[in-house]
Amino acid sequence: MIAITPIEFEKMRAHLAAGYPNEACGIFIGEIEGADKRVVEAVPVANAWVPLEGDGAGTGDLAVHDLRDRFSIDPRDIVKADREASKRGLDIIGFFHSHPDWPATPSETDRMWAWPVVSFMIVSVEQGRAGAARSWVLRDGRDAFDEEILIVE
Ligand SMILES: [Zn+2]
């Protein structure tokens, strides 16, 4: 279960919608107790994905991955959020990102990138408008995600 206040939820959604048509992302800091998490702050960060040289970027090839279907978070942003969290007696409890014109279900890339324990919230952004939000947790075996209950209150 992950709980988030309407204010932080809307802050996250606004950041993700503003990133459209690219994927946008951020970090949740808050409290974690067992499988229960409470978001204290949704921290928006820049999508640091850089298409690889020779990946065909700019060729119009639909198989090429660019900022519209990839994201990465700069490790420096993670360290900064972690320091900020520690100062307040909190932890990094998850990450969020958007799926532009795509459902809020994790991709194979998400599974390879994901960390155990923390939450991965995905928000579908359709035509620039933030839609469904779903939250996922990687299984111990790293082979799949389980959806967790999302409470906005
Ligand atoms: Zn994704």
pLDDT in tens, 95-135: 999 999 999 999 999 998 898 899 999 999 999 999 999 99
- Ligand 1 mean position to 83 CA, how many Å? 25
More confident residue, 60 or 86: 86
- Ligand 1 mean position to 36 CA, how many Å? 22
Query: 28: burial class by Cβ within 10 Å (0-12, 13-18, 19+)?
Result: buried
Which pair of tokens denotes residue 89?
């007696």
- pLDDT for 62 equals 44
Q: Shortest CA distance to 44 belongs to which of 76, 79, 77, 86?
A: 77
- Ligand 1 mean position to 137 CA, how many Å? 13
Contact 90, 17 (CB under 8 A): no
Compute the average pLDDT of residues 13-39.
96
> Tens of pLDDT along 25-36?
999 999 999 889
More confident residue, 51 or 79: 79
Amino acid in the structure at residue 134: R
- Ligand 1 mean position to 7 CA, how many Å? 23
- Ligand 1 mean position to 120 CA, how many Å? 9
Q: Is 105 left (phi over 0), alpha (psi -120 to 50) or beta?
A: beta
- Residues whose beta carbons lie less than 5 angstroms from ion ligand 1: 107, 110
Q: Shortest CA distance to 148 belongs to which of 27, 7, 3, 44?
A: 3
Dihedral, 114, 94, 80, 113 alpha carbons, nearest 10 = 10
- Ligand 1 mean position to 152 CA, how many Å? 21
- Ligand 1 mean position to 58 CA, how many Å? 21
- Ligand 1 mean position to 99 CA, how many Å? 6
Which pair of tokens denotes residue 111?
């599974």
More confident residue, 116 or 10: 10
Instruction: Give residue for tokens 């994905």.
Output: 49
Compute the average pLDDT of residues 74-93.
97
pLDDT band at 50 (very low <50, low <70, confident <90, very high): confident
- Ligand 1 mean position to 87 CA, how many Å? 30
Interacting residues of 131 by C-beta distance below 8 A, sequence separation 6+: 104, 123, 124, 125
Q: Which CATH number does 2-152 carry?
A: 3.40.140.10
pLDDT band at 59 (very low <50, low <70, confident <90, very high): low
User: How confident is the prediction for the chain on average, in pLDDT?
Assistant: 91
